[in-house]
Structure 1
Amino acid sequence: MSLIIEPGEDQTSSGEYVKHPGDGKLMAHVPEGIFLAGEDDEPVWVDDFHIDTFPTTNADYARFCAATRHPVPEHWEGGRCPRELYDHPVVHVTWRDANAYATWAGKLLPTAEQWEKAARGTSGRTFPWGDQKTAAKCNVRETGVEHTTSVSRYHSGVSPYGVYDMVGNVWEWLATATTPSRYELRGSAFTSPLFRGVPAIPNDANDTMHDDDTGFRCVASPEQMQPRKR
């Protein structure tokens, strides 16, 4: 079953969401084609894929930990996430934790090109919502929230493909390595200023780093969107 959201002005997608057969999360389709990438807006081809509409939440991650006995984030008191944070992005996860979740779900972490296209669309916009420096459309330092928020809170800040929180809330781990044992992060967080969240600008960290402002989301190839055989 698909949830259809009518496209707004300058959208490059119909905003169709489908549930992934593995973890059941809603995913948005990003069609194949060229987009303008990086600070110089270089044309780059990306094959079609689906990306999680929302970052991986604490509730999502709790199901993964229960199914696999993977260690829970160390800040969960008594090994349980507080109920009021179920729909907030999971934090204090390393790249290795994020990759383990993706493997369990039958997905992948996004490459830098996939993540940037999902955030910016094809026409080189600066932010998911356009070129305006509008901090109110996301959870960054200027917003003044000072902690994570529900992943569905910032409706006006969605990307051209209907993807939430591509700027702010938490930094997101990517599959793209910068050096051995270091991987890209993008999107900024509630702890960082808006300009750090420009999707074309990369960050990176060691694969064992974890913090209260770092999480992830996953992507899936067309093959990974097919129902699993029993």
Structure 2
Amino acid sequence: MATVERWSGLEVRALREASRMSTEEFAARLGVSDRMVSKWEARKDTIRLRQVNQAALDTLLSQSAPDIHERFASLARPLGTVLPAQQLPPPGPQLQQRQVRHPRDGKMMSLVEAGTFLCGKENKPVWLPSFYIDVFPVTNNDYARFMAATGHQPPQHWHRGKCPEAVLDHPVVFVTWHDATAYAEWADKELPTAQLWEKAARGAHGDTYPWGNQPTPAKCNSRESRIGSTTPVSRYHSGVSPYGVYDLCGNAWEWCSTRSEPGRYELKAGAWTSPFPRVVPAVFNDASAEMLDDDTGFRCATPATAIDALLGEQDEADLSYGSRPGMGRR
């Protein structure tokens, strides 16, 4: 798999052509204007893209299909900025990730093993049992399924109760703590405590950010990105936590189940409206349970024992169904 050492307008055009997208389609995937993409391509190798845009291009390239990679490598290799796979630095030590699809809402969840982690700004050792947490925040599309199943009220910014298609894969926002809790109950999950959430973000060794200790605003959607809105939940591939969990810095604040005082609950992650120092996972924030805003959403968690039991019940149901008369292999 090829990678780019430094993106210029030449590599941008090569990726767009390899993806066989129009300027408008390509810009939409990156979350920028089509005028900006045209400007990059017109400036060719005389323009130096901002880090946040280089990170977005890295993510788009990494998520592209193999045939797009082949076409891109063929177009970009003569430019001298594409590194072949054998020149990539060896990956650092990674946790063995276990992910499962929750049988209720269908969302992928990552296992966070039991053990001690360093919590808070003081890095206090805290032991937690094993649990699963959603790989991505609850999206507008996820929330629409919940509404259809329960009749729950839509977020106030949806037009006539329907989410615009352009943001279906963005985190749902304009939800109160009560809305988030209602979704969690419907999904047979719960909102994570602040400590569960923080361990999923920082890992067992208490890294400052999900990706390590280097302050890199380009790895998340904070105010410095200047995007001015939420982004697709899978955009920041280089910013995932050691457990493979996305958007634990920026994009949208996330409700937790930890009560800070009567009627108020903790929030984690920071948001697209937050300056980078506020998206640090150890930072404290809270709000009234009735609060709703365009930068606040949530994700869910569940004890490992609970999801293992649910998956076990599903396996038993499948076996029972397969053992009915006439349901054997033919």
Q: Does 1:201 align with 2:267?
A: no
- Determine the C-alpha separation between the residues in 2 that align with 1:195 and 1:155: 20
Alignment of 1:44-59 (within 5 A): 44-59=126-141
Q: Which residue does the alignment assign to 1:9?
A: 92
Cα distance in structure 1, aligned partners of 2:98 and 2:231: 24
1:76 equivalenced with 2:136 (yes/no): no
Q: Distance in 2 between matches of 1:15 and 1:137?
A: 21
Match of 1:108 among 170, 190, 196: 190
Specify the alignment match of 1:148 in structure 2: 230
Q: Is the 8 A contact 1:10 1:160 kept in 2?
A: no
1:190 lines up with 2:272 in the alignment: yes
State the distance in 2 between where 1:23 and 1:161 align: 20
- The structural deviation recorded for 1:124 is 1.5
| 1:9 Cα deviation after fit | 2.0
Q: Which amino acid aligns with 1:109?
A: L
Aligned partner letter, 1:140: S
* Identity rate, percent: 57
- Match of residue 95 from structure 1: 177
Which residue is equivalent to 2:4?
none
1:32-71 alignment, distance < 5 Å: 32-71=114-153
Question: How far, CA to CA, are the matches of 1:110 and 1:51 in structure 2?
Answer: 8
Q: Is 2:290 aligned against 1:211? A: no
What is the CA-CA distance between 1:221 and the residue it aligns to?
1.2
Larger mean Cα displacement after TM superposition, 76-85 or 15-24: 15-24
Amino acid at match of 1:107: K
Q: Which moved more, 1:211-220 or 1:123-132?
A: 123-132
Q: Which region of structure 1 is more displaced relative to structure 2, 147-156 or 219-228?
A: 219-228
Three-state SS of the structure 1 residue aligned to 2:238 is: helix
**1:9 & 1:89 partners in 2: Cα distance?**
30
Q: What is the rounded CA distance, in whole Å, between the counterparts of 1:121 and 1:211 in structure 2?
A: 29
SS at the partner of 1:185?
strand
Distance (Å, rounded) in 2 between the aligned partners of 1:95 and 1:38: 22
Aligned-partner Cα distance in 1 for 2:262–2:216? 36
Q: Cα distance, 1:224 vs. partner?
A: 2.7
Query: What do the CA deviations read for 1:118-143 (whole angstroms, capped 9, x no partner)?
Result: 00001111000011110000000001
Q: Distance in 2 between matches of 1:94 and 1:223?
A: 28
1:127 is aligned, of 191, 209, 212, to 209
* Counterpart-to-counterpart distance in 2, 1:223 and 1:81: 34
1:158 aligns with 2:240: yes
| CA RMSD in angstroms, aligned pairs only | 1.3
**Aligned-pair CA distance for 1:111:** 0.4
What number of residue pairs does the alignment pair up? 223
Runs of at least 5 residues in structure 2 that lack an aligned partner in the other structure: 1-90, 318-330
What residue ranges of structure 1 are gaps of 5+ in the alignment? 1-7
The structure whose RCO (Cα within 8 Å, separation 6+) is larger is 1
Q: Are the counterparts in 2 of residues 140 and 193 from structure 1 also a CA contact under 8 Å?
A: yes
Contact 2:221 2:251 in 1 (8 A): yes
The amino acid across from 1:9 in the alignment is: G
Partner SS state of residue 79, structure 1:
coil
Q: Which amino acid aligns with 1:143?
A: S
Counterpart-to-counterpart distance in 2, 1:118 and 1:124: 10
SS in 1 for 2:116: strand
1:88-113 Cα shifts (integer Å, max 9, x gaps):
00000000000000000000000011
53-62 vs 122-131, greater mean Cα deviation: 122-131
Structure 2 contact 254–299 (Cα < 8 Å) conserved: yes
Q: What is the DSSP-based 3-state SS (H/G/I as helix, E as strand, rest coil) of the residue aligned with 2:104?
A: coil
Partner in structure 1 of residue 168 of structure 2: 86
Report the counterpart of residue 221 of structure 1 in structure 2. 303
Q: TM-score, normalised by structure 2?
A: 0.66
Check the 8 A contact 1:107/1:218 in 2, yes or no: yes
Report the structure number with the largest CA radius of gyration.
Answer: 2
